[in-house]
Structure 1
């Protein structure tokens, strides 16, 4: 049921956002050098690595670490990077990962391949068996500000409580957070 919902909604959103996707791609291309998409190696279900696309918001020479670990993340942003991040429009290409089956709309956010502490803690509590999501329980309860143990605690809570109604609640609350720009660091 969840997979059918993910496929249907992602295809519908791709149709709806087709023109905006082209406009964003155009502006990414003309405002900085490098590819339009940034393919990030992420940890998926059962700790398998997959490539997750995002619109590129950082300069090509930016180190491949979580943004909050950069000393001055602002200096690595492209001219439209801040806007894309604050509006969450940089996430739209992840619809491709949902169509492919690497991600779902709701689940724990996929860890970067080098976030060993997050991966280990999620593995300890069985969270690695979940398909990672575009959004999740931890996302609506703190997003980037959460320390890793708190994030994993919320991932475990989602693992134990997952249901279609909870997923709908998370998606609705995510929509509100995106509109309000809550919990976005850069």
Structure 2
């Protein structure tokens, strides 16, 4: 059953859809049975208005529908929100009202609530209201143009939402994010690979004098090899060798950085870690295709808690990155569960604009890397 403000418009819309009943919100009160309710009514940012206007729809009206759902003894309430509401720091009226609305719905419905966050909504041959002009080019040309736009921000197809609604409840990791898999986009893979190669070649060509200076500084500071090479977990859990400038004393135990004492870091190493210059040799990993600029930070095979958590969330479908979403959020490998969840959020929200944002944030100093253990922790 389709329910909306205008019953006449709904009847016209579903006139040729067999088996679909329609009614307005008042008419919903005349029904006594509900299995799954998909709540799509929303006041979006593009409509403008005061915070009270947003609350009237995204909180108060949502609760009104939830109470009808409870009255009908419904089994599953799908509350659809934009991925914009995932940012706890976003103070726009939409994000604030949606966050409070979800909390109130949870109090009203409990475990029957299924919060789903979607990206730019589209369907085969339909590219949304904002990109309606693309439909004039037909499904093939318009689809090709939309594929270019779709790599810029997360998108969600109508078919994927329908499939999820017809499937089992709560089969997505929390927070529930339903977006198109960008790893299937050839255009995205070509662009990111081109960026990887461009950055790697630029580092090796233009920063060669820096390599020489750091090489000499590390040699003079402490005995041992200049380049630190260590086996890490790569895409599809394939092992690869990670290259960095050595920042710790020779023969330091091979373990996660957070498990190593701060006393193991050399004087030059402390400077390299603080400035992130120790990661310059990873340009070779970019050239080889072992890593990409943005992705989950590669871990050791011995970090089993993190490896298992990432495997369960499908993180190893992606290449590890020089920098990443978790890194700029100050989440490191000392928090394996939280790190895996952050990697999963990046996987679902991945886009070219997000990647560029992460690269810029890293260049501006956000994300200090994994911390070493304090004296009490070591």
Same fold judged by TM-score > 0.5? yes
Q: Which of the residues 281, 306, 315 maps onto 1:127?
A: 315
Structure 2: segments with no counterpart, 5+ residues: 1-190, 373-378
> 2:229 is matched with which residue?
39
Moved over 6 A (4+): none
Deviations 1:94-148 (A, max 9, x none): 1110110000000000011211111111110100110000000000001437611
RMSD: 1.6
> 1:103 is matched with which residue?
291
Q: CA deviation at 1:164?
A: 1.1
Q: CA deviation at 1:182?
A: 4.7
Deviations 1:150-172 (A, max 9, x none): 11111001111111111100001
Say whether 1:139 aligns with 2:327: yes
Change (3 A) 1:43 1:55: same
> 1:173 is matched with which residue?
361
Alignment of 1:33-112 (within 5 A): 33-70=223-260, 73-112=261-300
**Aligned pairs, number:** 182
TM-score, reference length from structure 1: 0.92
Q: Could you tell me how far apart the structure 2 residues matched to 1:74 and 1:183 are?
A: 14
Q: Could you tell me how far apart the structure 2 residues matched to 1:18 and 1:82 are?
A: 21
Q: CA deviation at 1:38?
A: 0.6
Q: Secondary structure at the match of 1:144?
A: coil
Moved more, 5-14 or 51-60: 5-14
Deviations 1:48-105 (A, max 9, x none): 11010110111112100112113xx222122311111111111110111011000000
> Is contact 1:85–1:184 with CA below 8 Å preserved after alignment?
no
Determine which structure has greater relative contact order: mean sequence separation of CA pairs < 8 Å that are 6+ residues apart, divided by chain length.
1
Name which one, 1 or 2, has greater alpha-carbon Rg: 2
Q: Could you tell me how far apart the structure 2 residues matched to 1:52 and 1:145 are?
A: 16
Q: Could you tell me how far apart the structure 1 residues matched to 2:336 and 2:309 are?
A: 8
TM-score, reference length from structure 2: 0.46
> Is contact 2:258–2:370 with CA below 8 Å preserved after alignment?
no
Q: CA deviation at 1:9?
A: 1.7
Q: Which of the residues 188, 198, 203 maps onto 1:8?
A: 198
Structure 1: segments with no counterpart, 5+ residues: none
